[in-house]
Amino acid sequence: MLIFFLTLRGSPGSAAAVAATPWWCLACGPMAGADLFQNLLLFLPLGLVLGLARWRWTGSALLLLAIPIGIEVTQALLRTGRDAALGDVLANAAGGLLGWWLGAGGLTRLARWPLLAPTAVTLFLSQLTLTAFLGQPTPVGPAPWQLRLNPVSSHRPTYIGEIQEVSLGGTRLRADSLPAPASMAAAGSFGASFVWDTTGGSSLTPILRLDDARGWEIFSVDRRDRAVGMTLRTRAGALRLRNPVFRVPAGSATPGEMLSADLSFGRGEIRATISGDSSLTLVLPWGAQHGWVFINPFTPVQHSTAAWQWWTRAWLFGWGLVIAAVSWHAARRWPWMVIATVGLWLLTHLAGAGATWLDEVALALGWVLLELSRNALRRRPAAA
């Protein structure tokens, strides 16, 4: 039921992008990398259950191929704004078959592989290092760029407030004269000044976008009810993973008031500011521990420090569970957790936003809970 809920909901706001995507596409759109990863994970639990239930390979393969095909056909014919593509079918089926292999005995064989624990810890430390790299702002993309003010969409309200100024990395942009993309590659900030408008109510309303030649977003500003959302392409976005959206309330701004929106990436932090008669700033840590923002299928609009921190701790807690699980049969399990914990502290501090003690606790807690479960299972008396 969860699979059908996630895949068969309508999304009218995405209809225009979906219409431009051919069904035979294997890696579609500006977030193709994240979407493929999510589609792999989506059917993995179902395949795992089939493997544990001792379903045969042939029957499992047919089912794991038939369900994605049925979903994609339904999306194409009956659900507005859902992207039906061959790549989704193949990724779903591949994830399901991987799950079947794990459930049919692959998990047991993997668990006894002597290099599993060091491999998992290496992957954890590698993704921290990679996240520190991917999180850097990189407004790149093929020319010619297009600056779209008050963009018109058949599925979104049109923002009618005047936009007076747009800048990228301190360089003022004009729709009829944009700088060469190469000259902007190192820009770590953008800003915009516009007249506040609330037409459209709570519907997401684009205010402005800078797109590359493919129509993929480099940076954008939009209105989300009484708040302003901002995003700037990072290296992850350039690799077709997700870019986080940062939302700042417009406070007591009234229609017709001039507002300034600024988003900047500094070492170890992101600042998103909305200024008018009053000023509100969202300051978030930005470091190696936040890799979840690039793949999370429900990436939230980051509108509070607390939400940002707890999503990060949930990500680290999950890694703690993984490290405990893969070291289940190791002669000594605790050294791997120590290496992971020290590595988290070291790599996040090198990236500029050091892990807090609660981040470290979240990682350790996942390991401790699974370790306690392991000990409880060992103490359970055998059935008579």
Same domain for 307 and 254 = no
Whole-model pTM? Answer: 0.83
- Measuring CA to CA, which residue among 328, 319, 326, 332 is closest to residue 361? 319
pLDDT of res. 332: 79
Tokens linked to 231:
């995003």
Same domain for 125 and 82 = no
Same domain for 274 and 201 = yes
Same domain for 162 and 61 = no
Contact by Cβ (8 Å): 51, 100? yes
Residues 6+ apart with CB under 8 A from 2: none
Same domain for 335 and 237 = no
Residue 299, domain member (yes or no): yes
* Largest Cα span, the chain: 82
Same domain for 52 and 159 = no
**Enclosing domain of residue 334:** 113-135+291-384
Same domain for 187 and 280 = yes
Residue 348 one-letter amino acid: T
Residue 300, domain member (yes or no): yes
Same domain for 327 and 269 = no
**Judging by beta carbons within 10 Å of its beta carbon (0-12, 13-18, 19+), is residue 62 exposed, middle or buried?**
exposed
**Domain count within the chain:** 3
Mind spelling out the 3-state secondary structure of 297-339? CCCCCECCHHHHHHHHHHHHHHHHHHHHHHCCCCCCCHHHHHH
Residue 189, domain member (yes or no): yes
pLDDT of res. 70: 83
Tokens linked to 287:
């470091």
Residue 300 one-letter amino acid: P
Please list the residues that pair with 266 across neighbouring strands: 269
CB atoms within 10 A of CB 9: 11
Same domain for 87 and 36 = yes
Q: Using CA atoms, how far apart are residues 127 and 121, in angstroms rounded to an integer?
A: 10
pLDDT of res. 201: 86
Rounded mean pLDDT for each run of 10 residues along the chain, 384 residues in total: 49 48 66 84 89 90 88 64 70 92 84 85 96 94 94 88 95 90 91 94 92 93 93 92 90 93 94 93 93 75 78 94 84 87 96 94 93 71 50
Residue 18, domain member (yes or no): no
Q: Which of 286, 320, 355 is the C-terminal boundary of a domain?
A: 286
Residue 201, domain member (yes or no): yes
pLDDT of res. 80: 47
pLDDT of res. 101: 92
pLDDT of res. 377: 64
Contact by Cβ (8 Å): 243, 236? yes
- Measuring CA to CA, which residue among 272, 261, 244 is closest to residue 166? 261
Contact by Cβ (8 Å): 92, 43? yes
Mind spelling out the 3-state secondary structure of the chain? CHHHHHHCCCCHHHHHHHHCCCCCCCCCCCCHHHHHHHHHHHHHHHHHHHHHCCCCHHHHHHHHHHHHHHHHHHHHHHCCCCCCCHHHHHHHHHHHHHHHHHHHHHHHHHHCCCCHHHHHHHHHHHHHHHHHHHCCECCCCCCCCEEEECCCECCECCCCCCEEEEEECCEEEECCECCCHHHHCCCCEEEEEEECCCCCCCCCEEEEEEECCCCCEEEEEEEECCEEEEEECEHHHHCCCCCCCEEEECCCCCCCCEEEEEEEEECCEEEEEEECCCEEEEEEECCCCCHHHHCCCCCCCECCHHHHHHHHHHHHHHHHHHHHHHCCCCCCCHHHHHHHHHHHHHHHHHHCCCCCHHHHHHHHHHHHHHHHHHHHHHHCCCCC
Same domain for 226 and 163 = yes
Q: What is the gyration radius of the CA atoms in the chain, in angstroms?
A: 23
Contact by Cβ (8 Å): 77, 18? no
Residue 345, domain member (yes or no): yes
pLDDT of res. 78: 52
Q: Using CA atoms, how far apart are residues 217 and 220, in angstroms rounded to an integer?
A: 7
Residue 17, domain member (yes or no): no
Same domain for 258 and 163 = yes
Polymer length of the chain: 384
Residues 6+ apart with CB under 8 A from 58: none
Same domain for 220 and 173 = yes
